[in-house]
Structures are given as C-alpha cells and as structure tokens.
Amino acid sequence: MPKRILPYAMWIFPLAFFAYQFILRLWPSLMMQQIMQQFQIDATGFGLLASIYYYGYAGMQLPIAVLLDRYGARYIVFICAFTCGLATLLFTYTTNWHLALLSRFLVGAGSAAGFLATSKVISQWFGSQYYARMVGFSFTVGLLGAIYGGKPVSLMVENFGWQFVADYLALVSIIIGLLTLLFLKTSSTGEKKEHPICLHDFVKLLKSPAIWLLAIANLLMVGPLEGFADVWGVNYLIAAINLNKADAAGIVSCIFVGMLFGGPLLASIAKRFGNYTVITGCSVGMVLAFVYLLFGKDLSNTYFLSFLFFVVGILCCYQVLVFASGSEMVTPAMLGVTVAFLNCINMLGGSFFHSTIGWAMDMFWTCLTDNGIRQYDVESYQKSLLIIPLAAAVGGLIVIMLNISGKKHAVR
C-alpha cells in the first residue's frame, strides 16, 4: 500500500467505531415503547436505562486514555467494539432488568474508546501539522453516524423489527472490532509527545473553582443534545404533532447536521467576540428555541422545525469553546487531563437529563395506559422537557460569572 494512503487506511478503523458508537448510543430512543413493554417499566425506568450509558462512557474516559497509552488502539478498539456488540445482544434477548442496565452500561463504557482511539491513531500516523484538521474530519464523520442513527435506523425497525436491527447492530460492532485487530498497525513516526496523566495534576484541577464552574455550565447546557436529541426528542414530536417515528427521527437528526457546521462557525465568531460571550449567546439561543418548541402554538411546519433543530445543532457546538476556555485556565502540561475532566462531566449531563426528565414524566403522567404500559400526553412532555431551557439558562449565568471574574482562578 502506498505510504500516502496507509495513514488514512489506519485511521479508518477507529473512525468506523467512533461513528458507529453514535448509532449504538441513539437507537434505544427509537424503541421506547417496545423497551418499556419488554421490561415493564415506566418513564423513570426508561430514563435510568438511557442515563446509565453515560455513566459508563464518562467513567471510562480516563481509564481508556491510560490503556491506549499502554496497549495501543489496536487491542483497545477490538476489546471495546466486541464488548459493545456482546452487550447489545445481551440487551436484546434478556428480560432481566438488571442485566439490561448492565448491558447499556457496558455499551457506554466500550463507546468511550471511539474518539480517544481515533485521536491516538491520528497522533501516531499523521504529523502534528495535520492533527487538528484530522480531528475535525473525524468529528464530521462521527456525526454522520449520529445522523444515520435517526431516520434510517427507524425505518429499519419499522420494516424488520427492533430485535433484528439490534442483532445487526451487534454484529457490525463485532466485525469492526475484528477488522481492527487484524489490520490496524502501530506507527510512531508522527506521534505527539504528550504529558502523561498525573494524579497530582488531577488533584490540582479538582481544587479549581473556575474549572468546576465551567464543567457544571457545560453539563447544564448539554440538554438539547444529550437530553433531547439522544432520547426524548423523537417521542416528543410524535406526541406533539402526530408525526410517524421515521419522520420525527429525521427532523431531530437535523441537530447533528447543524453540528457539522457549528464548530468552525462558533470558533470564528469567538475570535471576534470571545469564548465566554459566544457561549452565553448559545445559552440564550437554546432557551428561546426550546421555549418555542415546547409552547409554540403551531409546530406543524416540519421545514421550520428542521431549520430550528439545525440552528440548535450549531448552538450545541458551544462545547468546542468550553474546551478552549478550559485550556486557557491551565498550563500546557495539564491540557490533556483538563479536557478529559471536562468531557467526563459533560457526558454525565446525559445521565442528569435522562433521569430527571424520566422522573418528571411520571410525576406529570395523566394515568393513560395501553396494554398496561404508561402513555404520556404532550403536556407531560412539555412540563418535563422544560428542564432543558431552565438548565441552559443557569449554565449561561454561570458563564457570565466566569467572564466577570476573569482568569484569577486559573490552575497553575
């Protein structure tokens, strides 16, 4: 294989898993009623099931980073992809609630290797001058996986049944792992020498009020993505405007389409107005968008809804600026552990929103049932999903506080 092509060929293997884990992350939202019926659970239980994925993902961020340094992407991607596949099969065929929770936790833990392994392979096979560009390309391809995890997977579920689709998803994950084990090679020609994760640095980071405030703001503003797009959005549109599941999934996936463009756009705007100002603006935009989405009088225009979600997707890329702001608070040697910490707290936002929304859905439940399974009307969704704009508003206020305080709390 020509030397110019070889780095891209190696990049494809972890990238395929990075994109694919988005599908594994999203598909339970397309089968909410079937899953509730299989395990005889209510919205609180479904929220717990959705949230536990994020505990696995967040909890494995630092361990996966250490394991990649020690054993390389080849073996770690194989193990993680294989774990995701087997865990998905376990979830599909078990009727035991605790095994179901364990399986989703394992899928989240395995998925944690997706981006980290892709970044590792990029650092090994590409020169440092190409690192940022290749990471950007990787995010774009990964989001394409999230887009495919919407309407196309929903149509497959309608045509073939959810268990068949789950079997297919599990098989593809296992195949990706096996191909990675067989063909991914290691090269150190372009590897960036990074400061290893140090316990002392992590302790210093945890003592910084500014880092904690930034992390909490990040968590509170992630609701439109991890709270709405990942799980509850499809079912809300079905209840609110009587869409079929495939069309609802297609509209919600516009959030991920917007994210394809949001990173570069917000970064360019931030160069002129500053990171904190743009993050605050994103908070305001999220609040306005969701107030209209939840309480607007006419949501029947699906083209406008698609555009609205596209804009929300752009706003969700505020996270790029959060990482940039965090990097300004620390020394270069602490950059790696800072980004890992911020990303860990960010992913815990999914657990917070899914658990809270599920609990609220049952609190506002109007006693409707179908074959013993709770049914939730549009008002239950509206009142429960209100947590998303409220949390985004609080997150924006925290960022304003950080902007006023300046960098006096920076970690050195």
> Can you state the angle between helices 275-295 and 387-405, rounded to 10 degrees?
160
Buried b (16+ CB within 10 A) or exposed e, 398-411: bbbebeeeeeeeeb
Give yes or no: residues 136 and 37 share one domain.
yes
Please identify, among 164, 179, 194, the residue that sits at the C-terminal boundary of a domain: 194
Give yes or no: residues 181 and 220 share one domain.
no
Give yes or no: residues 295 and 388 share one domain.
yes
Q: pLDDT value at position 103? A: 95
Number of domains in the chain: 2
Give yes or no: residues 207 and 182 share one domain.
no
Give yes or no: residues 349 and 402 share one domain.
yes
DSSP states of 95-128: --HHHHHHHHHHHHHHHTHHHHHHHHHHHHHS-G
Q: What is the CATH number of the domain that holds 181?
A: 1.20.1250.20
Give yes or no: residues 277 and 290 share one domain.
yes
Residue 322 DSSP SS3: helix
Q: pLDDT value at position 149? A: 65
**How long is the chain?**
412
What is the mean pLDDT, run by run of 10 residues, along the chain of 412 residues?
A: 81 93 81 82 85 88 83 93 95 90 94 87 79 74 74 80 86 95 76 58 80 92 87 86 84 88 85 90 95 85 91 90 81 71 83 87 81 79 92 94 70 62
Q: Which residues pair with 369 in a beta bridge?
A: 374
Q: pLDDT value at position 326? A: 82
Give yes or no: residues 287 and 343 share one domain.
yes
For residues 409 and 411, give the distance between their C-alpha atoms in angstroms, rounded to a whole number: 7
Q: pLDDT value at position 1? A: 59
Range of the domain at 39: 1-194
Q: Which two tokens stand for residue 275?
A: 């990171």
Residue 223: name the closest of 389, 39, 53 by CA. Answer: 389
- CB atoms < 10 A from the CB of 328, how many? 10
Q: pLDDT value at position 393? A: 96
Give yes or no: residues 253 and 393 share one domain.
yes
Q: pLDDT value at position 195? A: 55
Give yes or no: residues 188 and 200 share one domain.
no
For residues 147 and 145, give the distance between their C-alpha atoms in angstroms, rounded to a whole number: 5
Please identify, among 194, 213, 238, the residue that sits at the C-terminal boundary of a domain: 194
Report CA Rg, the chain.
Answer: 21
Give yes or no: residues 170 and 223 share one domain.
no
Q: pLDDT value at position 107? A: 94
Give yes or no: residues 186 and 276 share one domain.
no
Q: Residues 86, 174: contact at Cβ < 8 Å?
A: yes
Task: Give pLDDT tens digits for 31-87.
Answer: 777 888 888 888 888 888 888 998 899 888 888 888 887 888 999 999 999 999 999
> Can you state the angle between helices 302-316 and 245-252, rounded to 10 degrees?
40
Give yes or no: residues 209 and 334 share one domain.
yes
For residues 12 and 5, give the distance between their C-alpha atoms in angstroms, rounded to a whole number: 11
Task: Give pLDDT tens digits for 155-209.
Answer: 887 788 878 888 989 999 999 999 999 999 876 555 555 555 666 767 777 888 8
Q: pLDDT value at position 77? A: 95
* Residue 318 to residues 8, 59, 204, 224, 395, Cα–Cα distance (Å): 29, 23, 25, 12, 12
Please identify, among 132, 161, 194, the residue that sits at the C-terminal boundary of a domain: 194
